[in-house]
Amino acid sequence: MQKIKIAFLLFITCVLFGMDAAAQNVDQLIEQYNAASSPEAKAEIAYQIGLSYEAKRVYSKAIEYYENAAKMMQDIPVDRFGFEQRISVMERNAICHAELKEYKKSENIYKQILFIYRQWGNKRGELYILEALAEVASKAEDYRRALEYTEEALTLAKQLKDKRSQVKLYNNLGFLHKKVSSPERALDAFDKAYTLVKENPDVFKKSELAVVLQNIGVLYTNLRQYDRATDYYNQALTIASESGDKSEMAKVYNYVAINEMLSNRMNKAFYAAETAIKLAQEVDDLETLAFSYKVMEDLYRSRKRYDKMAEYEQKRLEVENKLRVQEEIRQREQLRYQLELMQRESALREAQLAQEKERAERERIQKEKELREAQLKLLEEERLRAEKEAELERQRRLALERERAIELERARAEAARQKAAADSIAKVQAEKSAAEALKAQQEAQARAKAEAEARRQAELAAEREKEIQKYYVLVLGLAAAVIVLVAIGLIQTRKANRALAQKNEEIERQRKELALQNERIQSSIKAAKIIQQAVLPSNAIFSVLFKEYFVIFWPRDVVSGDFYWVYAKGTKKIVASVDCTGHGVPGAFMSLIGNMLLDKLIKLQNLTEPDAVLHKLHKEVRLALHQGESENRDGMDVGLATIEDKDRETVVVTFAGARRPLYYIEKGTTEPKMVKGTRRSIGGIQNEELGFERHVIEMPKGSYIYLGSDGFIDQHDAAERKKFGEKRFLQLLASVAHEPLEKQKEVLEQTLREYMRGAEQRDDISLVAVRV
């Protein structure tokens, strides 16, 4: 009993020390997670945090970080975060859900992994997941489903010739048949496990043989074949004794004691039970010791020795109580650890939020500072502009004043010149009058006439001077009017400039709003592109289905109204190329509807005949778009083919098309052939009496088939706006028929680029080719 107390104290110390060390490790990981910038780093660290939580049984927190890692992985390309890492995250998530007894969630995740392994053809991974599904179903006490998973796994283990997995699965089958009350089937499963272990001593350890022997012995005890059970128990005891495993020996002796008690060989039963107790005490195996006390308690009850029965019952209860206390302490410490981690994580998050808030505040202050500086700069520029305008106005006024002064000076000069001329004329006339006073009377008339003429000239000069004065007044008036008009013009110009500045500010604000709206629209379109790319089949899926293939996928806009679809159903491989109404975002929405409906019809409703799929797809599109009760006429053109091996040399290609053809080149030839689709579309108003025609073509393996939209053929050039055309397309296929598909793709794309050089792409372009 003293040993039990010491072991118990050591257990508690280890639990506490281990949890403190783990808490520090998680703290470091969370700090790294918060500091990480790349999605790859954050996803990897989230996975490591999940592992740390799982190791300490904090399964709810482990699930939280596993799911965070899974979400981030969706946006990371496969070449930077591989499928194996993604599956590891899903697997650990499923294990944690199972530990929390959330068996349905665990089963659903395992089924997703199983689907991926089957798509890859990874038989080993498929076997492992089937075993995990059987274990989850067994824990959920759904033994029938567990049997189904186990039998499926056993068939796969036989194909892989995995003897170790076969033994494990036969053992599990035995237990499950026992649970559903089929002892004969259980015994058959245990016998097969025993035979495999016995026949392969180089593969299995003797301890593994001992486990199988115990299982068979327990089953014979339940079938009341006590002597046969004894034989198997003795063989198990021999192996356990040779290995010196006292704990295992104690367990076998317990089974022996029960078997002997039921066969009424009480002395042997007591001996076996006492031996089990002694061995369990020596190795301090409390669980086995409690079971041994229970066996001894039952033995004394059958002998009606109630005093001894009570004694061993008390011993059993003491050991069970210690085990229960250990478990309660472990659970309490687990809860304490979980709360402590949550508090630490909360504190770290608060610290991070505080840092982000502080950084945001610094950025806000910096932006306000920059805004104030920009405003001050604008004010300074406005002040300088106003000063410049005022200086220009002053210079204009000075120029006008100088012009006015010059005009006045010219007017004065002209008046002085006219006056001097008049004075000179008067002087000449006076001199003439004085000179001619002495002349004869006969000159009097001439002199009078000259005087009259002189007076007239004087009058004309006076009138001319008045006209000049009027001209000066008119010039001054016009100058004043010009000055007033210039002043008014300057005032109106300043008002217009201010209005123009306000208009410019309004235009700038509207431009920013439009830019923001455009940015949001572009962000939404980019998100739509990511969604569309996630829906399209990956290169990994193509590689699983076809040894050689290519895909040409050129959306006219960011997202496309074209899409392609591949799947394997039974022995058939299915390829489809779909051209939806419109392009860009409307076309992309239609492509999502088409993809979803193909998943529904082929994966869920198990339709595989191309004509039947197109017929049903037409009805589903009309139903999805409510075309029977609206004016919506959207739809899609489809080419759909199934590929199935006929024999080792030949494949059968079955094709149906809705306005889209199938092109193919048989192996050993270079002549492309075309199978036209039916002249009706999917969706909208169609001739319902016209069914989709099914074409069956046999061709040698290694032939090429091509499916695509009309974007390639209808693309025009820049010079003549002439379409590439079907004839040119068939000639191009013929020229590359001898090349592998990767080289064909390169030539096709290069030829189309050169043809459309300088021309806009008019429609979405898609073309899928596979080697059958």
Binned average pLDDT, 10 residues per bin, the chain of 772 residues: 36 38 63 75 84 85 86 69 77 91 92 88 91 92 92 92 90 88 87 88 83 88 90 90 89 92 92 93 91 92 90 91 85 71 66 72 81 78 78 77 71 64 55 56 62 62 54 47 53 63 70 70 70 83 90 92 93 95 83 92 93 95 88 92 94 97 96 96 88 96 96 89 93 95 96 91 95 95
Question: Residue 387's CB: how many other CB atoms inside 10 A?
Answer: 10
Whole-number pLDDT of residue 6: 34
Question: Residue 416's CB: how many other CB atoms inside 10 A?
Answer: 10
Hey, what are 90's tokens? Answer: 């899903």
Alpha helices in 140-285 (DSSP H): 143-160, 163-179, 183-199, 206-222, 226-243, 246-262, 266-282
Distance (Å) of CA 88 to CA 70, 153, 268, 288, 765: 10, 20, 51, 36, 37
Whole-number pLDDT of residue 449: 66
Whole-number pLDDT of residue 18: 42
Phi and psi, residue 721, nearest 5°: 50, 45
Number of H helices, E strands in the chain: 22, 10
Question: How buried is residue 747: exposed, middle or buried, by Cβ count under 10 Å (0-12/13-18/19+)?
Answer: middle
**How are strands ordered across the β-sheet holding 704-708?**
549-554, 765-771, 704-708, 662-665, 673-675
Hey, what are 219's tokens? Answer: 């089953």
Q: Which residue has tokens 């356990």?
A: 240
Please tell me the distance from the alpha carbon of residue 26 to that of residue 348, in angstroms, as a whole number: 11
Whole-number pLDDT of residue 435: 54
Please tell me the distance from the alpha carbon of residue 16 to that of residue 200, in angstroms, as a whole number: 44
Question: How buried is residue 25: exposed, middle or buried, by Cβ count under 10 Å (0-12/13-18/19+)?
Answer: middle
**DSSP classification of residue 443:** G
Whether residue 681 contacts residue 716, with contact meaning beta carbons closer than 8 Å, is answered with no
Whether residue 672 contacts residue 699, with contact meaning beta carbons closer than 8 Å, is answered with no
Whether residue 350 contacts residue 29, with contact meaning beta carbons closer than 8 Å, is answered with no
Q: Which of 12, 13, 9, 30 has the alpha carbon at shortest distance from 340?
A: 30
Helix or strand run (H / E) with residue 361: helix 306-436
Q: How many residues in total does the chain contain? A: 772
Whole-number pLDDT of residue 131: 92
Please tell me the distance from the alpha carbon of residue 702 to that of residue 670, in angstroms, as a whole number: 13
